[in-house]
Structure 1
Amino acid sequence: MPVKIGTRGSKLALVQTETVIRKLTALGIGSEKVIVSTQGDASTQVPLHEIGGQGVFVRALDDAILAGEIDCAVHSMKDIPAYRPSGLVTAAVLKRDSAADFLAHRGAISSVKIVGTSSTRRRAQLLRHDPDIITKDLRGNVDTRIRKMSAGEYDAIVLAEAGLTRLGIRIQGERFPPEKFVPSPNQGTIAVVSRADPSLMEVLSALDHPQTRTDVAIERAVMEQLGGGCFTPLGIYCRAGHLIAEVLSLDGQRTERIETDIKTIEQAREQGRQLRAGAQDLIDDAYKKLGIHA
C-alpha cells in the first residue's frame, strides 16, 4: 500500500511534497499525493491573524490524517502550531534550507518605501530598521505576491528565501541576515506529520535530519513558553545549538532579545520563560492592538 501524503495545493506546497516523494522513492517506498484545501488558502484577502494565524494552513490536513483519509502531510514547519492534536506526531524533519527572509524589490533599494507583508514580525523588523517604511498587507502564493509587486502595488515584498530556492525563482533583492532579522521559528524547514502509527513512523523516520530536528525543537520550546503565535512579532532562530530570540513591539521600536548557546530542551524552555518575563508587556500590547483574546 502506498503512503498517502496530504498537501495544500499551492505551487510551493506541491514542490515540497514532491521533495518528500522523491526521497521516499529513493528508499523504495511508494507514495500517493492527495491535495487538501485549507481555510488559509481560501481566505487570501484577510490578514492571517484575523482567521487564526498560520495554523489555518494545517488544520484541514490534521483532520484528514485523524479521519484516515491520508497517512501523513507535508508542511512548512513554521506553519505548525505549538499545540497539536493528540494522535499526531512529527514523524520526520528534513534538513533545513535557508531560514532567512528575502526582500525582493523593484528598482533601487534606496527607493523602497512601500513593502508588502502579512507578518507582524516582518513588519516590526522592517519598521525597526527604517521607521519611515510603509507596510501593507500582502497575502497569496509566491507568484501572486511577485506579480502584485511587479504591477506596482508595492515597491518591495518580503519572502522566505527557502521558498524562492525551492521554486527555482531568481529575483532582484537582498537577503536579510537571520542574526539581525530573526526569522520565524522553524522557517526554512519541511516537516512530515503523521498519525501515531509505529510502523508508519518508522518508515518516515528515514527522512529525518537529527541536527535540524534538534535546532527546531529548541526553537519550538522557546515558542511554547512565549505563546503569541504569529500574532506577536517574535523571531526565534537556532543553528547548531546557538539560539537567538526576540520579541518586538508592533511598531518595531521596542525589543526584548536573548542570544545564548543551548544544550537541552529544558534550557530552551527556561530561556523562553525569561524572555517572556521581560517581554510580557509587548505580548499583551500586541494582543490588545490586534483585538485578539489571549
Structure 2
Amino acid sequence: MSIRIGTRGSALALAQTERVCRMLAERDIAVETFVITTEGDTTTGVPLHEIGGQGVFVRALDDAILRGEIDIAVHSMKDIPAARPPGLALGAVLERDSPADFLAYLGQIEDVRTVGSSSTRRCAQILRFDPSVEVKPLRGNVDTRIRKMRERQYDAIILAEAGLERLGYTLPGDRLPVDTFVPSPNQGAIAVVCREDPSLVEMLTFLDHAPTRFDVEAERAVMEEVGGGCFTPQGIYCRDGSLIGEVLALDGSRWERVEQHVETLEEARECGRDLRALAEHLIREAREALGLSS
C-alpha cells in the first residue's frame, strides 16, 4: 500500500512535494502523487484578501484528506491558516529553508520606482523603507511574476527566497534582512498535513525537524493571538527562540513591534497578546480600509 500525496500543481508546489517523496522513498515508503487545483490557483486577478487569504491554497487539499481521497498534503507552511478543521494533524515540519524575502530587480537599485507584490505585509514594509516607491498588485506563480518583471511591468518584485532556491532560480537582486523585513509566520518552512491517524502520524515522524517545529509553532502562537489574518500587515519570525513580531499600518507609516526570547509556546502566546494590545488600532484600521467587518 502506498501513501497518497496531494499537492497544488505549481512548479514550486511540485518541487516541495518531490522533496517529501524522495525522503519517503529513502525509507522504502511507496507514494502516489495527486495534483489538486485550489481556488487560489484559479482566481488570480484579485488580491488574496478578497478571496479569503492564504487559506485558499490549502482548503481543497484539506477537503481531499477529510474525504479520504489522499492521505497527506504538502504545503508551504505559511499558507496554512490559524484555524484548522477537525480531523487533521500537522504530521511533520521539514528543516527550514531561508525565511527571508528577496527583492529581485533588473538594472540599478536606485532606478526602482515600482515594486510588485500583493502581500499587505511586503507592501507595508517596502513603503516603510522607501515611501516614494509605488507598490502595485502582483499575483500568480513564481514564473508569472518573474515574466512580468522581465516585461518591465514592474521595476522590482518581492519573492520568498526559499521558493527561488527550491526551483533552482538565480535572479539579480538582494536578500532583505529579516530584522527589518520581518517575514510572514512560517515562511521558508514546508509542512506535511495528514489525517488525524496515529499510525500515519508515526510514519511521518522521521520527516520532522524539532528545532524548526518549535520556531514555527512559536510564530503561529503569536499569529493566533494577534489575529488579523493576512489582511493586516504583520511579520513574525522566530529562530532558536529569539522572536520578533510586528504589525504595520497598510502604508508602512506606523508600526508596533515586540522582541523577546521565548522558551515555551505559552511565552510566545504572551508575546502575541502583548503585540495585539499594542497594535489593536493598526489592525482595526487595516480591516476598515480593506472593507472587512471587525
Range of TM-score over shorter length:
over 0.9
Residue 271 of structure 1 aligns to a residue whose secondary structure is helix
- Cα distance, 1:14 vs structure 2: 0.2
Q: Which residue of 2 aligns with 1:164?
A: 164
Q: Map Cα deviations across residues 128-153 of structure 1 (whole Å, 9 max, x no partner).
A: 00000100000000000000000010
- Cα distance, 1:205 vs structure 2: 1.3
Q: Does 1:96 align with 2:66?
A: no
Residue 229 of structure 2 aligns to a residue whose secondary structure is coil
Q: Does 1:81 align with 2:75?
A: no
- Cα distance, 1:204 vs structure 2: 1.0
Q: Does 1:62 align with 2:62?
A: yes
Structure 1 residue runs of 5 or longer lacking an equivalent are none
Q: Distance in 2 between matches of 1:244 and 1:63?
A: 33
- Cα distance, 1:236 vs structure 2: 0.1
Q: Map Cα deviations across residues 218-277 of structure 1 (whole Å, 9 max, x no partner).
A: 000000000111100000000000000000000101010011100111111111001100
Q: Distance in 2 between matches of 1:263 and 1:292?
A: 35
Q: Does 1:258 align with 2:258?
A: yes
Q: Supply the AA of the counterpart residue of 1:211.
A: P
Q: What's the C-alpha RMSD, in Å, of the aligned pairs? A: 0.5
Residue 92 of structure 1 aligns to a residue whose secondary structure is strand
Identity, % of aligned pairs?
Answer: 65
Q: Does 1:2 align with 2:2?
A: yes
Q: Distance in 1 between matches of 2:175 and 2:130?
A: 16
Q: Which residue of 2 aligns with 1:237?
A: 237
Residue 60 of structure 1 aligns to a residue whose secondary structure is helix
TM-score, normalised to structure 2's length?
0.99
Residue 37 of structure 1 aligns to a residue whose secondary structure is coil
Q: Which residue of 2 aligns with 1:218?
A: 218
Q: Which residue of 1 aligns with 2:39?
A: 39
Q: Distance in 1 between matches of 2:211 and 2:18?
A: 23
- Cα distance, 1:292 vs structure 2: 1.3
Q: Supply the AA of the counterpart residue of 2:149.
A: M
- Cα distance, 1:27 vs structure 2: 1.1
Q: Distance in 2 between matches of 1:146 and 1:265?
A: 38
Q: Distance in 1 between matches of 2:133 and 2:96?
A: 31
Q: Distance in 2 between matches of 1:84 and 1:211?
A: 22
Q: Supply the AA of the counterpart residue of 1:54.
A: Q
Number of residue pairs matched by the alignment = 294
Q: Which residue of 1 aligns with 2:193?
A: 193
Alignment of structure 1 residues 251-290 onto 2, 5 Å = 251-290=251-290
Q: Supply the AA of the counterpart residue of 2:16.
A: Q
Q: Map Cα deviations across residues 65-107 of structure 1 (whole Å, 9 max, x no partner).
A: 0000000100000000001000001000000000000000011
Q: Which residue of 1 aligns with 2:107?
A: 107
Q: Supply the AA of the counterpart residue of 2:252.
A: G
Residue 231 of structure 2 aligns to a residue whose secondary structure is coil
- Cα distance, 1:206 vs structure 2: 1.1
Q: Distance in 2 between matches of 1:45 and 1:106?
A: 25
- Cα distance, 1:108 vs structure 2: 0.2
Q: Which residue of 2 aligns with 1:116?
A: 116
- Cα distance, 1:171 vs structure 2: 0.5
Q: Distance in 2 between matches of 1:180 and 1:134?
A: 19
Q: Distance in 2 between matches of 1:19 and 1:91?
A: 15
Structure 2 residue runs of 5 or longer lacking an equivalent are none
Q: Distance in 2 between matches of 1:256 and 1:53?
A: 22
Q: Which residue of 1 aligns with 2:143?
A: 143
- Cα distance, 1:179 vs structure 2: 1.0
Moved over 4 A (4+): none
Q: Distance in 1 between matches of 2:228 and 2:168?
A: 33
- Cα distance, 1:163 vs structure 2: 0.1
Q: Supply the AA of the counterpart residue of 2:186.
A: N
